[in-house]
Structure 1
Amino acid sequence: MALGLNVDEPETTCDDPNCPFHGTVSVRGGTVDGMVASTEMHRTVIVEREYDVTVPKYDRKMKRRSRTPAHAPDCLDLSVGDAVRIAETRPLSKTKAHVVVGTLDTTRDLGASSLSGPSDPDSEVALDEIESAGGDA
C-alpha cells in the first residue's frame, strides 16, 4: 500500500516528475472512482463518472456525468474503458488537478457506459435481424 491510499504501487518504474509513486507530487484531499473516457492527450486521461441527482419537482432521479482531466503517470498502462481511481493533487496545469493512482478491478458501472459496445455479440445480430425484417420496434 502506497500513498496512504488503498492502492498498490506499480511494478514498473518511471522518471515522470508528476508521478505520485516515483516523482515529487503528493496527493491530498479526496479520491474519485471513474472510467477512462479518453486517452488522446499526452500523459493526460479524461475520467468520467456517472451519478444520480434527485429532481424534487418530479420525484425522480436523473443521471448526470462529470468529466475530470487527470495526469496519467508513465508507470500505469491505461486504455479507454479502464476503471481507475484518481486523487486530488496540486494544480499540474490549467485544467489538471488530479492524478491517476491506480486501476480498479470492478464489475459495477462507474459511468461512461456508452464507451463500450454491446456486451453481448448476439445482440447486434438480433438487432440486424429485426431491422431486416422491417420491424419498427
Structure 2
Amino acid sequence: MAIGLDVAQPPEPENPEDYDYETCPFYGSLSVRGQVIEGQVVSTEMQRTVIVEREYEVKVPKYDRQMKRRSRIPAHVPEVLEPLSTGDDVKIAETRPLSKTKSHVVVEVTSEGGED
C-alpha cells in the first residue's frame, strides 16, 4: 500500500492487466503527500473525476465576525472505489499533478448520501 493514511483498503482490481496502476494510491505507484481534506461530492459529470466542495470559515477582523467560504476541488477517483454519487462525503488527499486541474485523489468514502 503506497498510501500513508489510516484508511480501509478497497478490494483488489477485477482486471489486473487492464487496471490503471499509475493513478492509484492503493495498488499503484501514486504517492500521497500534503493536505487531507474532507468534503462533499457536488458533481460526478466527468469520467474518473468528481468535484468536491468544502466549506470553511474565515475571520473578518473589520466586523469581528466569521464568514463562510466554499472551495471546489477536482479529485481523481481510483477504479477500485465504488462509483460515487452526488452528496457523498469523502476524504481527498493531495498528490502530484494528474492533469491541468487535478492534484487530489479520493482516498475514502466516509458516508454515502446519494441524491441520484
Tell me what 2:69 maps to: 64
Structure 2 stretches of 5 or more lacking a match?
A: none
Tell me if structure 1 keeps the 8 A contact 2:2–2:25: no
Residue type of the alignment partner of 1:5? L
Tell me what 2:37 maps to: 32
**Percent identity between the two aligned chains:** 64
Residue 2 of structure 1 deviates from its aligned partner by: 6.9
Alignment CA distance shift 1:12-1:80 (3 Å):
farther
- Partner-residue secondary structure (3-state), 2:36: strand
Alignment CA distance shift 1:21-1:99 (3 Å):
same
Residue 12 of structure 1 deviates from its aligned partner by: 4.3
The RMSD of aligned alpha carbons is: 2.1
The reply on whether 1:54 has 2:70 as its aligned counterpart is no
Q: Greater helix share, 1 or 2?
A: 1
Tell me what 1:132 maps to: none
Q: How many residues align?
A: 108
Tell me if structure 2 keeps the 8 A contact 1:16–1:22: no
Q: From the CA coordinates, give the structure whose radius of gyration is larger.
A: 1
Tell me what 1:111 maps to: none
TM-score by length of 2: 0.84
Structure 1 stretches of 5 or more lacking a match?
A: 107-115, 117-137
TM-score by length of 1: 0.72
- Partner-residue secondary structure (3-state), 1:35: strand
Written as runs of structure 1 = structure 2, the 5 A alignment for 1:1-137 is 3-13=3-13, 15-17=19-21, 18-77=23-82, 78-105=84-111
Alignment CA distance shift 1:23-1:95 (3 Å):
same
* Regions of 4+ moved over 6 Å: none
Residue type of the alignment partner of 1:31? V
